[in-house]
Structure 1
Amino acid sequence: MCSFLADGVGFFFLWVTWLDMQCMEIYVKYYYDIKGSETMPKGTIITLPGEMLPASRPLQQKPLVQRLHDCLSSCKSYLCLEQLINPDRLLLNAVAFFIGRVSIMGEIGPFGLALFAAVAQVSRAKAAVAAVLTTLGVLSTGRYYEGELYFFALMLYFGFVDKPAKMERRSWKVLLFVFGTLFLGEGLPMLWQDVTLYNLLQVIFNAAIGMLLVYIFLPGVTILACRNRSRQVSSEMLMCLVILLSAAIAGFGGITAFGYSVRNMVGSLVIMALAFSGAGLGTIVGVAVGLVVDLTNNNSVMVVSLYAVGGLLAGAFRSLGKFAVIAGFLLGCIIAVLCFGRMEEFYAVLTEAAVGAAVIMFIPARQLEMWANSLKESKIGADREADIVKNAAMKLAEISGMFGSLAAAGNTSGIVSAKVREEETTQLLTRVGEQVCGLCTKRTECWDNNFYRTYQTMLDALARFEQGDMENIKMPRILRESCIKHEELEKYILTVISSNYTQLYWKKKAAAARQAMNDQITAIAEVMGDLAREVKKEPPQEEEKAAAILEKAAFVGCQLETVKVSCIDGSFVVEAEKIPCKGNRECVNTVLPLVSAMLRKRMTIETKCGKACANSNCRISLRTAACYKVNTGIASAIKEPEKISGDACSVVKLGERRVALVLSDGMGSGVSAAGKSLLAVEFLKKLLVADFSVDVAVKTVNSLLLLQQSEESYATIDLVVIDLNVGEAEFLKVGAASSFIKRVGEVSVIKSATLPVGILQDVEIEQVKWTLAPGDIIVLVSDGVVDSPNSNSHGKSWVVNFLRRVTETDSQKIAEKILCQAREMSGGNCRDDMTVLVGKISEI
């Protein structure tokens, strides 16, 4: 502690000395400017008539920050603090301090050094202050060794790296400086420790991530460091600024005020401030803040949705003024908490958002609009929006790759563990040989003449004692017959293994926890990679159909200016613009039947009348209407004597054209099984509603169950996604019982041979697509229904025969009859949880 205080005092002294040098330089310039004016030659002063002089501008009240700035400028202390409180540098300085506080998993912290490198490339004049603030940020978290590393690295930079050179050469020097500093700073202490492959790879990836962060921070730092209003902000710079601000918000960590998170307050403030630039930027900022800040949060879906929905609504209401932006953000927070969170989080979320809103209230609306305009791109249109989406996908892919690299570094733990285990075995055999065989008369015969046989039998003995009951295990027969000290050898091996048993147990626990952390990082990387790929996807454009609609509309006297037709899985979306009509509703009476006839689909229409909007163009959006509907019925019975069912099921509406039927059977019965099945169903519902693909959703649920504390935590998943437009069903079964489809008098069986989720890291997914027809009945059952005690000789065939004979058409009655028959075959007692989910397809 004393050494740290001494280092801190020395660091502060050097910092003050450097600032004094800067102050002296400014003071000298100021002094000579004044002296130069005093030595000017004297001349005659002529007073001109008043009418020839322009009237002076009336005095205006300056803002509070500017008045404080002017007041301090008259003091000598201002010269030392000018670079810290300068309004043009205040935001960059705050970001530098809080970026220094950020670390990954409490160990990896290359963010501060990467930000300094980015600032040094953009503005050399602001690099020194950024260096001081990032170092102070690191020290404020208690990472004292890393703070000392930053100090000496920055001194090295200003001494050797920061020299005039070509931009390309200087950029490479800065990148190599970041990589070398992080590598040597964490690699040198390993020379005095046990060097393992895992630790070495972790150091290499830490340094590589630092280099990657320099490229990510560089465009965002350009916006903060160079306040040029004429500068054009590109989409890449905007996305990097969002990532930079999100990382800075994460630097607040667990700081609280009266029990409320300061980090969440600042996050709400930043989202509302940037939402003045539009709903798109507000949503992107919300997603970025949610992902970066609450990356390890158990309820990260709620956090991301909270900020994303809040940013979306705040940006959507920006045209109505500051109060509407605040109301939109608060409304989004309420919606997200009610849909994805818990009621005990409701008041905390609202309070934290309200504090951010209160700060926004004190910022002048003109200042907010100026910030919003400075972040808007100079070119607006479809091409620029496409660039934003493309760059957003690229940044998400880069972040996904970063976490993939972290997971890859952790996956080497198996190799390292095997190597460590081999070294421990060798040391154990050496100790046994020295203690028992050192003075034995047959040492030469055992260890010199028959070394390999003795070595192998000793390994067999160690394996027996480690894997079995140590009190009842005997030595191998060969060792008992050849060793004259086998009893002494057996006692010594038993003593050594008993002393190492506790250490071995905790090593296995640590390895399991490390593997669970790697699995979580891998799952996050996969989800972000899939999200990047989904963002890149664009619906295929049907240009021929769009041209045909334009031509046909012109032929009937309806002038459409633009038409865009896209098709996703057989569902059409038509967007068009036209000049306002005279009130005869051409959009409904002409455009709707024309498009429906040409596409041969029943369409729904949404319009924005141009006549009601100051005679602007009418905007028309047509979508394929649903042709089918699903009537569902659910029946369940609880295993005796439990009070809660271990099965869980749900019917989820996915937009306007899809419905999902979900059934999950948790391992065992009662509360434990109910927790697993409910967790799987609820998480799967949220991912599907968020428009994740089915396979990605199931893999994410599998990763979630793998992270549970219990050794055995798995559940089956029986999922059917029905497309109501085309009448197609997609079955996905993971360890679930067979499903049934009845059409008239025939019954088809959908089988599964995969293991439940939560057992293996890589889950096997089998998808079956089925074309449905009106009147088809889909039946999902848990294994308690199919495997009734008295149905062992029939198996699932009894369900097939029962469905063939049933004449009911109501879904609920069919489910109740199947459950009643299953209970009857079980002798009236439920020996397992039973659940039946029935869905009947009918035409609209």
Structure 2
Amino acid sequence: MGKVEQELIESPGEVNFQTTEMAFQKIMRKIQFQLESFFIRKGILLLMIGFLLGRALILAKLTPFSLPFFASVYVIKKDRAPLALIGLITGAATLSLANAAFTFTITIFFLIVFRISQKWLKNEMKALPFYVAAILGVGKWAESFILFHQLTIYNGMMVGVQACLAFILTLIFLQSIPLFTLYKRRQLLKTEEIVCLIIMLASIMTGTIGWKLYDLSIEHILARYLVMIFAFIAGATVGSTVGVVTGLIFTLASISSFYHMSLLAFTGVLGGLLKEGKKVGVSFGLLIATLLIGMYGEGGGSVKLMLLESAAAIGLFLLTPRALTSRLAKYIPGTPEYTAEQQKYMRKMRDVTAHRVSQFSSVFDALSKSFSQMELLSKEDEGQRELDYFMGNVTAKTCQNCFKKEQCWAKNFATTYTAMEEVIHEMDQNDGSISLRVSREWEKLCSRPKKVYDTISQELTFFQASKKLKRKVHESRKLVADQLMGVSEVMDNFAKEIQRERENYYKQEEQIIEAIQGFGIHIEQVEIYSLEPGNIDIEMAVPFCNGHGECEKLIAPMLTDILGETIVVKKEECASHSGGFCQTTFRSSKAFVVETGFAHAAKDGGLISGDSYSTIELGFGKYALAISDGMGNGERAHYESKETLQLLQKILQSGIEEKVAIKSVNSILSLRTTDEIFSTLDLAMIDLQTAAAKFLKIGSTPSFIKRGHKIIKIQASNLPMGILQEFEVDVVAEQLKAGDLLIMMSDGVFEGPKHVENYDVWMKRKLLELETDDPQEVADLILEEVIRSRADMIDDDMTVAVAKIKHNTPKWASIPVQKLRRQA
């Protein structure tokens, strides 16, 4: 019996429940799809909106909604414009037949004018509000003239008001109608779109003015329901805005609804403040607002009716499915759903970017393998093939017209081939000369030995040049393969870094603010980017302290106690005035620090030394110390050694592994010039978290580690950079300890002492005799000893680099505060 069957037998009820739940969700999704398809795709929603807007009024007599709505639908969704027109005419007919006739006539007039002038329009959207305002103004002016046979100032003002309203409503409908016509909307709502949506919804609800159900006003129920929805979704700010806007629209439609604006605004505020109580809290806010406004504004006679209307709105609100409110919340800025949607989009973009970088990494990896494979394939039969080509060129010029051709190459091919191969090998190895034994054997076989020798000598010149060129091509391919592999690794690591999502540390940020402010230090803002042990990264906005050093002396020690590890100020941007804020970055302190000292001298006391040295701080908690010695002395040697260190620094800081970096520098140095200019490299890389060190020595002298009264020698046996194109880098690993002195030097120092047979013993003895552990003093004393041993003569460039490993002791002790627990 399988595991799945066992689980089915053990928990059949649970399986049946899950199956039923999945089936129910599938049915609900199907119903939702069908409803959306019916109302949105088929345009029934526009028909219903058109019906309500067709009978909506302003000041109980103005109807400015119809033409702006139809024009907006015509421009945005032309195939649904007939449905919108049917809805508008039907709604207008519920007011009066004259109103329906005017709506139809003005719409046809708009279509004629807009279609005629459409070919001259560059931007229909920008021109549409002006067309609608002008056409509605002309239509209302004509209607007033026909009805009253004159145009009074009052009628003219009303026509102007309707034209202005039409202009504004067109702009609003152009923003909000796409929300009702797009079947699947992915982009988030802008602020102006939300405001336009609220105005349009309130305008639509004015079409229900006069509708009653058991003496309950439908428009009041729907308005309160709308305010509760937005207060529940977006809080007090948006809820009060919706209440004010909705109440204002209802007030314009009917002066008797003026008190209703106060009720809706108060409901939005209270509902938003009580939204933490879910739907019950928002409903309670509406009841409180209804009681207060009802008793204050209308007297006890109508409070009962207002409470019943509010109860009906609460019933609708409680019956509203959570899926609908959650879906709407995704489009409103400031809501958790909106933030989650943005984070989802950012994660998607991050994953896409990481995937593209990973693809590029794969491409570079494939190219690197392709170059490497090409080299392997080309080496297999290259030697034999080149010999065959070479021998073919020689025989074409010597044996082709010889009378013994058939005898030598047809009957005795193996003997002739072996003998000529030996002649070619002898002349290649001995600069064109040939031994007596080989010449006698060849002359027994060949009737034209002198001509063969001359031809082979001539062909060898071309062969060696071709061989040198092929070697250069091989070196170039090897360099390209190594570089491509290094770039592939860097990009792969970068793709992994991109996919590391920044965690949300809201709770920890609040705890840090509370702990530090409880200590009496005001901080404005805390942003935590990482709480990973050894890699903590926190940014703060701290008030201007006038140079008193609060960040270093107080905040960093407090964070040290809170987080359980040493925190230091990594970067600080101080405010320019007393009212500003300093932006400070706090990072984890490394367990060790490196203190360095250098001493150098040029040959014969010159100004330019062929040695160069550098310290490199890498972004991975590593510290590099390097010395390079260019071949010879003077400006050219200085340029070579300096160029070596600069190339190495740039490649290491890009994230490429140390061995690949050194091989790349070596290839570049060997390929960029035909001169025999070489450089040595002595590189030490120290991990500041563990004090583990890696030593990479390319043609350099030994280094020494002084640990108390013990001297440890570090050496390797690689040739200088630029001599060999292919070499393996030997890496020597050593665990350093606090208090160790690392001494690195160029050959001018190590081999500098005069009349010394064993340089190792001499250097170890001098190091043991040192009475100081200051790096700079040690470097100066070693250089001085070497120069004195040569009677104050400097016969070569000299450089000494000394590094001391120390525990990183914080400058300020931690300040005890409440501990912060890290979340896993």
Q: TM-score range by the shorter chain?
A: 0.3 to 0.5
Higher RCO structure (Cα 8 Å, ≥6 apart): 2
TM-score by length of 2: 0.48
- Of structures 1 and 2, the larger Rg is shown by 2
TM-score by length of 1: 0.47
